[in-house]
Structure 1
Amino acid sequence: MKRQLTAAIGMTALLATVAGCGSGTPTGQDRAASASAATGTVTVWLMGEAQTSWPELVQQVNDEFAAKYPKVELRLRYQTWKDKIGNLDAALEGERVPDVVELGNTETMKYILNGSLVPVDRTTFDNNQAWIRGLVDTCTYQGKLYCVPYYAGARVALYNSAMFEEATGSAAVPATEDELLAALDKVQAKNRDKKGFSALYLPGPYWYAAMSYVAAYGGSIARFDNGGRWHGTLGESEAQQGISHFVDLVKKYNHGDLTVNELDQAAVLGKHRTAMLYGNGWEAAAASEPLSGDPKLKDVVKVAGMPGPNGKPLPSFIGGSDLAVTAKSQVQDLAKDWIRMFTSTKSQQVLAGKDTLPNNLTQLAPLKNKPATAAAANAVPDAWFTPVAPGWAAIEKQNVLVEMLNDIFKGTSVEAATKAADARINELINNPS
């Protein structure tokens, strides 16, 4: 899951230890002695969220690792989503590679298929039988697990409760889409004098949202057929219905530039230019930040489940991150142990306490009843994910879905645009990126 957060790239060296080898079946005392004697360096690449949102978790795990492996040096580097892939690709071409790397769950398959990651033993990690399936799928290929779920995310409705209350008399999001659209019409009318105001801000190229409507109608981006190959399915009637529904909503409610993507949509909410958007839960906080939004919105912007077509909630994309060990790592056992500590039950509870969705259903369950997390937590079990196919990274990189949507808003019919997208998907999806 790619969050557009800014995080400084820094290097922190901390002491830790390494797992050693023994003969026969080592006792607990033997393992402790071996760990105490181990030496080496473990380099960990984490995304900026770990530095800005849960630094205490990072410190807790580093302290635990250092206590077990006192002679091992731990080097921690924070990456930004914008630069991470380029940095990682460059590192993997050389010899100075990270031992542990955080990957967004849409990024994993590329590195699994090109041999950059090593398999891990699922049974050695906490909560492995309760891991969220959508995350496990992003780490699995041909029956082997190549990464470990870290945390999950789901898109929800973020809305200005004061605007809703002023226009409709209620500060809550209606339960059905029909009721929501009626409420949005009232919000739009109430704010008709605000130039460029969008009651619902749905960016035109926002393919994650568009594909949620595809999923709502039972459609999909692509399907694995009996012949052992993937093929595009956006031209099927269910997918076309979903895309048409999304396009109708964008045209009716987005009164801004339809070519602008969703990356800065939190600022639109923060500057009072919309009453609602569909996004990640963390964007609610971004809308009340001093630089990008309005601090007065801190208790005004709220989160709710997004009503979808046919009287059901809108299916959400399952976002999140995974942690993997690189194939070129010279300290793979140590790297795996650091990941075990960072994804332990104790560590996941720190994330849950931060209203971040943990990697497993057991610790997720209490968040389903917590106001700040209920919408996202309840969306996870029925969430959809992009095709776990060899060429998916190329499809994203070449903006196939973005260009399809842009063409539609320029006047191409949904039927023609989806069939053209299927043709491009078919060219790319079966070829390793």
Structure 2
Amino acid sequence: MKRQVLATLSTAALLATAAGCSSGSPSPSPTNVDTKTLTGTVTVWLMNDAQKSWPELVQQVNDEFAEKYPNVQLKLSYHEWSNKVSELDAAIAAGTAPDVVELGNTETLKYIVNGSLLKVERNTFDNSDNWIKGLADTCTYKDALYCVPYYAGARVGIYNSKMFQDATGSADLPQDEDAMLGALDKVATKYKGVSGYSALYLPGPYWYAAMSYVTAYGGSIARFDSAGNWHGTLHEAKSQQGLQHFVDLVKKYNKGGDLKVNEQDQAKVLGHEKAGLIYANGWEQSVATAPITGTPALQDVLKVAAMPGPGGKPLPSFIGGSDLAVTAKTQSAQAATDWVRMFTSAKSEQVLADKDTLPNNLVQLAPLKDKPTTAAAANAVQDAWFTPLAPGWGAVEKQNILVNMLNAIFSGKSVEDATKEADAQIDQLINNPA
């Protein structure tokens, strides 16, 4: 018997009973239990990216689940990034949490530390020995696994090849930073008559970019010491050096006006031909070529390349992406975990790879390293950096400590003073569960 998948955009329609399992107990491995006789409900929250970009994958997995668990009802809903966390927090507090939830990889630690996620056994998932380390790390705490990597993302250089061609004689983005800066100087001169034009549009509060330069110089946001505590390290010499490099680039090339405007609309700036180059997520290229947010005629003009960084190497990227987790109080641990296994199987990950989305493992990632549309991002994820896996990191982000530090610098505070103040604030929060 094949049961219908119930999909709704309304969170209120999801009814999941909370009781039972503790986050201290791992989810069950596949057993010899007759899954055809199991009953119950599995509620799944996915982000709307899945609905828009790979609906056939969702259907494929739901059909596979229905065949294995014909008497378990699946309730699936799609959510927006802007309000998912508040919805999930409310559902957990009310005892109506979903059985499976998609989490952005910066969101996982909060729910791991507060006991909201179920432990899972790594070796029961496809390609787990080859998961991208930076992504798997976002699911790991004190040597235990609490979620499963779903897909990865990395930031790249997206540039207007015609502008570079007209200004430098080459449509390629130079892959040495000194050469790139020389090219940017020529682009800036060529388009100096365009009001508000930035050869490199690099927003001042763009902390993901700023920390990429910190990482490039061997610095870090925070470090775990031998005494078992985290402490801020932005004031250290290497971190300050990287941060100063970022600040110098912003001040020299960003002519868009207020240096305290964040990166939210950087793809629109590129798409409206007010910039030659941005450092962005690969998907932002589509924003720059869409009607209204950009210019469709730039479809073949905007190109993607690795972003050159200091020292003759690519700029280290923050590793983005999503994970899938089973919540701690699910009453359907086996079926819920199996749904995650199916959705992150090698077969499922190949659907993502075929759509130029970076899969969760190095085996299926490898072909994308040589594909022009994915090479820059695919080659960036192995050496990508991530935010500190500290219990209080969520509070650091919530209080905008890094953004406030950058805004202070662009308001006139020295890098030295701003980083010392930021570290003092980080030290107060980072060791306490958010």
Q: TM-score, normalised by structure 1?
A: 0.93
Q: What secondary structure does 2:383 align onto?
A: coil
Tell me, yes or no, if the aligned pair for 1:11 and 1:75 is still in contact at 8 Å. no
Structure 1 letter corresponding to 2:368 = L
Q: What secondary structure does 1:75 align onto?
A: strand
Q: CA shift at 1:291, angstroms?
A: 2.6
Q: CA shift at 1:11, angstroms?
A: 7.5
Residue 40 in structure 1 maps to residue 5 in structure 2: no
d(CA) in 1 for partners of 2:224 and 2:233?
10
| Aligned pairs for 1:191-340 within 5 A | 191-256=191-256, 257-340=258-341
Structure 2 letter corresponding to 1:230 = W
Residue 371 in structure 1 maps to residue 361 in structure 2: no
Q: CA shift at 1:328, angstroms?
A: 1.7
Q: CA shift at 1:156, angstroms?
A: 0.5
Q: Which residue of 1 aligns with 2:176?
A: 176
| Aligned pairs for 1:52-71 within 5 A | 52-71=52-71
Q: Which residue of 1 aligns with 2:384?
A: 383
Tell me, yes or no, if the aligned pair for 1:12 and 1:76 is still in contact at 8 Å. no
d(CA) in 2 for partners of 1:371 and 1:394?
39
Cα 1:213–1:177, aligned 2, differ >3 Å: closer, same or farther? same
Query: Structure 2 unaligned runs (5+)?
Result: 1-7, 14-29
Q: What secondary structure does 1:226 align onto?
A: coil
d(CA) in 1 for partners of 2:40 and 2:269?
48
Q: What secondary structure does 1:380 align onto?
A: helix
How many percent identity over aligned positions? Answer: 68
Tell me, yes or no, if the aligned pair for 1:12 and 1:77 is still in contact at 8 Å. no
d(CA) in 1 for partners of 2:397 and 2:355?
30
d(CA) in 1 for partners of 2:393 and 2:35?
40
Between stretches 233-242 and 188-197, larger displacement belongs to: 188-197
Q: Which residue of 1 aligns with 2:358?
A: 357
Structure 1 letter corresponding to 2:378 = A
Q: What secondary structure does 2:41 align onto?
A: strand
Structure 1 letter corresponding to 2:321 = G
Q: Which residue of 1 aligns with 2:106?
A: 106
Q: CA shift at 1:9, angstroms?
A: 3.5
Query: Structure 1 unaligned runs (5+)?
Result: 1-7, 14-26
Q: What secondary structure does 1:103 align onto?
A: strand
d(CA) in 2 for partners of 1:162 and 1:10?
45
d(CA) in 1 for partners of 2:9 and 2:270?
28
Structure 2 letter corresponding to 1:261 = N
Q: What secondary structure does 2:159 align onto?
A: strand
Q: CA shift at 1:381, angstroms?
A: 1.0
Q: CA shift at 1:12, angstroms?
A: 13
d(CA) in 2 for partners of 1:252 and 1:357?
33
d(CA) in 2 for partners of 1:427 and 1:95?
31
d(CA) in 2 for partners of 1:291 and 1:101?
32
Q: CA shift at 1:10, angstroms?
A: 5.1
Q: What secondary structure does 1:424 align onto?
A: helix
Residue 75 in structure 1 maps to residue 78 in structure 2: no
| Regions of 4+ moved over 4 Å | 10-13
d(CA) in 2 for partners of 1:423 and 1:109?
22
d(CA) in 1 for partners of 2:265 and 2:351?
28
Structure 2 letter corresponding to 1:105 = N
Q: Which residue of 2 aligns with 1:4?
A: none
Residue 150 in structure 1 maps to residue 150 in structure 2: yes
Q: CA shift at 1:109, angstroms?
A: 0.7
d(CA) in 2 for partners of 1:303 and 1:111?
35
d(CA) in 2 for partners of 1:380 and 1:49?
20
Structure 1 letter corresponding to 2:293 = S
Q: What secondary structure does 1:223 align onto?
A: strand
Structure 2 letter corresponding to 1:211 = M
Structure 1 letter corresponding to 2:168 = T
Q: What secondary structure does 2:330 align onto?
A: coil
Q: What secondary structure does 2:382 align onto?
A: coil
Structure 2 letter corresponding to 1:348 = E
d(CA) in 2 for partners of 1:337 and 1:348?
15
Q: Which residue of 2 aligns with 1:86?
A: 86
Q: What secondary structure does 2:64 align onto?
A: helix
d(CA) in 1 for partners of 2:327 and 2:347?
25
Q: Which residue of 2 aligns with 1:421?
A: 422
Q: CA shift at 1:287, angstroms?
A: 0.8
Number of equivalences:
411
Structure 2 letter corresponding to 1:275 = G
Q: What secondary structure does 1:327 align onto?
A: coil
Tell me, yes or no, if the aligned pair for 2:230 and 2:427 is still in contact at 8 Å. yes
Structure 2 letter corresponding to 1:402 = V
d(CA) in 1 for partners of 2:48 and 2:305?
26
Q: Which residue of 2 aligns with 1:133?
A: 133
d(CA) in 2 for partners of 1:219 and 1:333?
42
Q: CA shift at 1:194, angstroms?
A: 0.8
Structure 2 letter corresponding to 1:199 = A
